[in-house]
Structure 1
Amino acid sequence: MKEKKKALAVIYILLSALFFSLMNMFVRLSGDLPSVQKSFFRNLVSLVFAAAILKREGAWFSGKRENIRYLLLRSGAGTLGILCNFYAVDHLVLADASMLNKMSPFFAIVFSYLILKEKIRLPQALIVGCAFAGSLLIIKPTEAVFHSPAALIGLLGGLGAGIAYTYVRVLGTKGEKGPFVVFVFSAFSCAVTLPYLLLYFQPMSRGQLLSLLLAGLSAAGGQFSITAAYFHAPAKEISVYDYSQILFSAVLGFFVFGQIPDALSWIGYGIICSMAVAMFLYNRKRTL
């Protein structure tokens, strides 16, 4: 049963990586709009989607009062992660923003250790570290990442996402339903960004609105998938698969934007795929 749950977790996190890659593609296609406005529409679609699922399944809050704190912590950290990531995308080159956002698997492992007391074995830490090194070959951060204020905000976004994923895991172990976790997070994020939207709303074309709605739909798929992933397995065992988002982004970049990876990028793809296989084999060996 444990092995089956782990396999499901890997499938879910791969799905989330695909959905979030599609989200980034649609956000980029939406053009020059404020990052907070993009964030609002991204979460609004997720909110409607989650509410529909909750109504269909008749699921709601578990009733455990201690979970309210974890829901708010997950929502606050997740909102911070989104806003900081979108700000970094708007103020840094896309490669730098992507690198900073991909710090989230590291932070998820660290906070899983601090909050959940999940032990981190050396091979697992080394595999995730090698995967991150592979991602650096692909995104090639510039020197601006070391002295730009936006870079610090981008890193804060990765931190927020890592904390959020940890509390998703906490809520999963405490019996909260995935759609409700997504619903609370989406509602919280919309409430936080709504005042800015009302004060500084920028008119959009139909194409921009459609792109943001599709980004929101993709984000909803990503949120449900990654919530399910961390419900099924610890971060130390599945976080390496989150780097598959870079591979999906490369494919979409080629077909949608005509971006062709260079030799270093192909080496990076090979390293990431190898580390995913290594993590799979290591976890399988430990369960035999």
Structure 2
Amino acid sequence: MAEILSKISPKHKGVLCIISSAFCFAFMGAFVRLAGDLPSVQKSFFRNLVAFIFAAVILIRQKGSFLPQKKSNIGALLIRSVCGTLGILCNFYAVDHLALSDAAMLNKMSPFFVIVFSALFLRERTNLVQTFGVIVAFAGSLLIIKPSLANLELVPSLLGFLGGMGAGAAYTAVRWLGIRGEKGPYIVFFFSGFSCLVTLPFLLFDFHVMTWQQWLVLLGAGLAAAGGQFSITAAYKFAPAKEISVYDYSQIIFSALLGFILFSQLPDIWSFIGYVVICGVGVAMFLYNNRRDKNP
């Protein structure tokens, strides 16, 4: 197995990891929805607690350090943790109040925000075509959000969009940390621990008693989230966003199937058009970047 993996290029490893993360995150969203009427903060705590334990066990088995590789990485770890925590809380609220595919699609604005934030903070250059793609993707998100006072789902839609922005900022920090040699398990460990500490006070003051079924479902959400976190962290360490981000949209397919099978959810026509616009832009940008790399 090690020999096979050694022959796979970093880009292809990144693709496999990002599809794996999409699959895991789709199941995480389904489990969060199945957990029922619990506060998003409570769901977030247990989701991150499982990931924290999972990451700690891996660090112990690998005899890794519970400190960052460099002191200069602490700032990026905090940015990744703050933005990631806000992104999760917004995404969980959207998952509870929107169709699974709508919430997943708004969260999948994150690759476009990764491109924007990478250009701003990592100096990864973008050109006019990529900038135009980001603008069109934003327009596609408006078809899902449907910004109108008559839209009863406006608030969860906006929070879902902000969740995608938070995830984009978090993954940009992951990219920065990966370039500077920070290990994936430690990034997940730090983020999950930070998120648990931040949400713990809210949990103590407003804990909702859970049934054993809800405990099991949240355990499943935590395991799926851990798989998604490790996969997405590895993906952005293997390759830059512009090369692999398009494959992240496979989560929409997984989420739509789970939403239909488990909750009989079907997106409306405007949301469907928004999916096509955003996914179409993602595919077009991917093809454009590949062509440009072959013909500099």
- The TM-score, its normalising length taken from structure 2, stands at 0.83
Q: CA RMSD in A?
A: 3.1
1:171 matched to 2:171: no
> 200, 204, 212: which is aligned to 2:206?
200
Q: Does 1:216 align with 2:231?
A: no
CA apart distance, 1:259? 3.2
Correspondence list, 1:31-70, <5 A: 31-60=36-65, 61-70=67-76
**TM-aligned CA distance change 1:241 to 1:124, over 3 Å:** farther
Q: Deviations over 1:150-206 (max 9, x none)?
A: 555444322221110100000000000001000000000001111111121111111
CA distance in 1, matches of 2:216, 2:109: 30
2:259 corresponds to 1:253: yes
Q: Which moved more, 1:237-246 or 1:161-170?
A: 237-246
Amino acid at match of 1:101: N
Change in 2 beyond 3 A, CA 1:29/1:68: same
Asked if the contact 2:99/2:265 (under 8 Å) is kept, the reply is: no
Of the three residues 213, 216, 234, the one matched with 1:228 is 234
Query: Is the contact made by 1:244 and 1:272 (CA closer than 8 Å) also made in structure 2?
Result: no
**1:78, 1:161 within 8 Å by CA — same for their partners in 2?**
yes
Aligned to 1:26: 31
Alignment of 1:10 onto 2:4: no
Shift of the 162–86 alpha-carbon distance from structure 1 to 2, 3 Å rule, reads: same
Count the aligned residue pairs: 286
Alignment partner of 1:188 is 2:194: yes
Distance 1:146 1:240, change over 3 A: farther
TM-score (ref. length: structure 1): 0.85
- 1:243 corresponds in structure 2 to 249
Judged with a 3 Å threshold, the aligned counterparts in structure 2 of structure 1 residues 167 and 57 are, in CA distance, closer, same or farther, namely: same
Pairwise CA distance, 1:237: 2.8
Q: Which runs of 5+ in 2 are unaligned?
A: 1-5
Q: CA deviation at 1:238?
A: 2.6
Counterpart secondary structure, 2:36: coil
Classify 1:132/1:174 alpha carbon distance in 2 versus 1 (closer, same or farther; 3 Å).
same
How far did residue 267 of structure 1 move? 6.4
